[in-house]
A and B are shown apart, each in its own frame.
Chain A
Amino acid sequence: MSAAAGRADGPPLVVRDLTCRYADPPAQALAGVSLDAAPGELVAIMGASGAGKSTLLRCINALVPSLAPAACDGEIRLGAQALLGAEVGRLGGRVAMVFQDFEAQLFSTNVRLEVAFGPGQLGVAPDEIAARVERTLALVDLADFGGRDPSTLSGGQKQRLAIASILAMEPEVLLLDEPATDLDPIGRRELYAALEGVRGGRLVLLAVEHDVDPVVRADRLILMQEGRVVATGPAAALVQDVELFLACGVRPHDLAVLGRRLGCVLPLDVEGAVAALRARGLPAAAAACPPVEAPPAPPASGGAATPAAGAAVAGRARRASPILEVRGLTRVYEGGTRALDDVGLALGAGEFVALIGQNGSGKTTLAKHLNGLLQAQTGEVRLAGADLRTLPLERIAREVGYVFQNPDHQLFAATVADEVAFGPRNFGLAGDALAARVDETLAAVGLTAERNEDPFLLRKGERQRLAVATVLAMAPRVLILDEPTTGLDYPQVRAMLELLARLRAAGTTIVVITHSPWVVVEYAERALLMRGGRLVFDGALDDLLADEPLLRSAAFEAPPAARVARALGISARTVDALARALGAGD
């Protein structure tokens, strides 16, 4: 039930011919956007980075232009109240917003106080605040956490707390700006379940999303490109338009792509799609055959021809002479938390490994042991046979590169070229050799044209590639990347993953920590699954995808295509492989 359910319908949200131009740096963010959203509706907004989605939300709740200098024109109304150009404070909480960064929107030392903050600012009577706190915490399933310090909650719980703290203000419009981006699969599921709970009533819900899966449940979908609305319609129908999605820089739904390859329209839920395919006589007897896994990212040279073949080659290389070997690795933090528990593995040359598991399962702790940032308490980590504890960190860093999740954590230089040169210069490279290394690296990540730019003025996708370049410039044999696709749009994610595929083809071992199932199934051939500090699976990805109880226990959900394939008894994990197995042409 909605926080405001049971009341009369509220006013509609109307946006007309909205334009917005930022002053510094100059950029036309919106170029004539119009939309209507009725009370009770969930409207999803999608588009590539720079499409104007966030600016649209910020104009609606008056953060732009009141707090960010911009020239805006047009009209935004909530019922009779004009929103464009209003002071945020004067809106009295009628329009509220949940941001992507859950850390930046929680201020209190206690969950209950956090929820009470907004109503308190609006002067709501104390007894009514208490009632709202209880009601909204129950709504987002946090009723038992009232006394907790928000900093001790998981990411999903923090984001639900942020939603509760907004709902307690009883807004008429709730804006969500990519609220699930930083969450693991469990956190996402919890978040969407909470949103389902608040849908309806007099609340207008507008959600910006990168991931198409949750969007199919929206009442309406708006696709944006370069500051304009290019399409709007019922979400379930619009999601079927694969070309439109690709043109807008948004990853299309697996089952929409599959339907298009097969020349039909498939339901967007796995069960429905399986039933529809069976009704069409698929898979034909010949289709239910052994796996036909097409290579999504063909190696440029020197690599294995397909991920499956790559796994076999890498497996042999791993057994013969592993680059990194972990034995009996256990780490216990102060307070007794067992972050790693008897972990053992080996990494060979040219592998593409996905390190997956819930937040807090030990992925990052394990990765930091692989490059010496953390030293083994119990057990050992060996690099080409040498115990990491006996090697200086600089030596390890040259062999095992580590790209942190947030690129802004490592960028500081005045130019892109200086940023790339920093690492190799620390290792003694100078003169022509250093210049050549910088040139090579910039070319590899596609940033040659930006070499003299200020790193902080690059777009997020470019900063992410630059962060990879800063580590790549040290020519490591193993490259570990912690959530390298967070906050990137689909073309940027593809560019990043293609870069990694090329590096792997050239012999670099890639270890990617990720929550994104489609990234795992399309690029990795080996999976390491962590749960509660234990490595519960280490092997071929196909074997992991076949073990549903294990996947469920680790809160990992295969992409829709892989689940449909499994339900049909076809061993394919990508849309492409499944379409081929079902007889579709290229």
Chain B
Amino acid sequence: MALSLYLDHPSWLHRRHPVAKVLALGWLFVAAFLLDHPAPLGLLLVLVLAATASARALSVLHQMRWLLLPVFVFTTIIWTVFYPATADGPVDRWVAFRYGLGMALRLETFLATGFVFLATTTIEEFAFALSRLGVPYRAGFVLTLAFRLVPVFLDAALTVRDAQRCRGLDFTTGNVATRIARYAPVIVPVFIGGLRRADQMAFALEVRGFSAGRPRTSLPRPGMDGSDLLLLGVGGAITAVVVALRVAGIGRLVAQ
């Protein structure tokens, strides 16, 4: 089962230094978070989509459409419907709709940026960037292990479910509580298998020197180049503009 979004082909975004990509990702998240007007948020999303297309990574957004489309539709509708009334009078539905649209575009920007990051950055690069930014090595490694293990556990769970179906366990009838109770014969073997695997992995990690206590090294990595600095500069500039607009009170739907 493939859970990885990484696209293994060369592109300008793949080649960027992982630290530059993580920082640029952070800049864009901050910018999207500070905006609530659909127009600048839409512009930001268009920029992200353009970067995605130029990195030949649009397929990842297509792959995740099952999440992106419902989030967009439901966020717009829910905020439009539940936009709060104020003491000044009834809810202006046009403002409510624009606010809902803004929220949906903000979430889409978060998601799309994250997906494109994962499509162009290996988990090891991500962990490396985190460690360079001060996150403990072990925390970054746990992240890489999670990406490695999730498909393994899902695969084990599907196998166990099949094994129990072969013994007449029916997951399709009965009320919700009954169906949940029927998952015990699946959960127990998956859980115990998980513990055994965790033990084996701990052994294997120790054998590979995980606790050697020496300064860690890695394959040679090129340092940041001019393109990386440009990426950082563009991301920083966008965020700086957004902060300035926010401070000036320009382009906001909801006054703070």
Contact = CB atoms under 8 A, between A and B. Distances in A.
Contacts of A118: 208-209
Contact of B124 (A96, A110, A398): A110
B218 A409 contact: no
Interface stretch (B24-32, B88-96, B187-195): B187-195
Interface residues of B, number: 55
Given A93-B209, A394-B168, A409-B163, 13 more contacts: A67-B203, A88-B211, A90-B213, A96-B208, A107-B205, A109-B123, A109-B124, A121-B209, A121-B212, A129-B220, A166-B208, A423-B167, A426-B167
A470 B207 CA distance: 37
Contacts of B144: 107-109
A371 B166 contact: yes
A381 to B, nearest CB: 15
Q: How extensive is the interface on chain A, given as a class?
A: 35 or more
B103 to A, nearest CB: 34
A224 interface: no
Interface in A89-109: 89-90, 92-93, 96-97, 99, 101, 103-109
Contacts, number: 179
Interface string A195-206: 000000000000
Contact of B207 (A96, A119, A406, A427): A96
Contacts of A169: 208-209
Given A109-B123, A165-B208, A410-B189, A122 B214 contact: yes
A393 B165 contact: yes
Contacts of A456: 192
B232 to A, nearest CB: 24
A121 B214 contact: yes
Interface of B: 4, 6, 8, 122-124, 144-145, 147-148, 151-152, 156, 159-160, 162-170, 184-186, 188-189, 192-193, 196-197, 200-221
A130 interface: yes
Nearest to B151: A151
Interface string A76-96: 000000000001111011001
Given A120-B216, A408-B196, A409-B160, A426 B124 contact: no
A225 to B, nearest CB: 25
A125 interface: yes
A110 B122 contact: yes
A93 to B, nearest CB: 5
Going nearest first, the 8 A-B pairs with the smallest beta carbon separation are A426-B168, A89-B211, A121-B209, A412-B188, A105-B204, A123-B214, A104-B200, A423-B167
A409 B153 CA distance: 12
From A99, A112, A169, A408, residue with most partner B Cβ within 10 Å: A408
A169 B193 CA distance: 29
Contact of B209 (A92, A104, A404, A423): A92
Given A126-B218, A373-B166, A397-B165, A410 B160 contact: yes
From A108, A117, A151, A406, residue with most partner B Cβ within 10 Å: A117
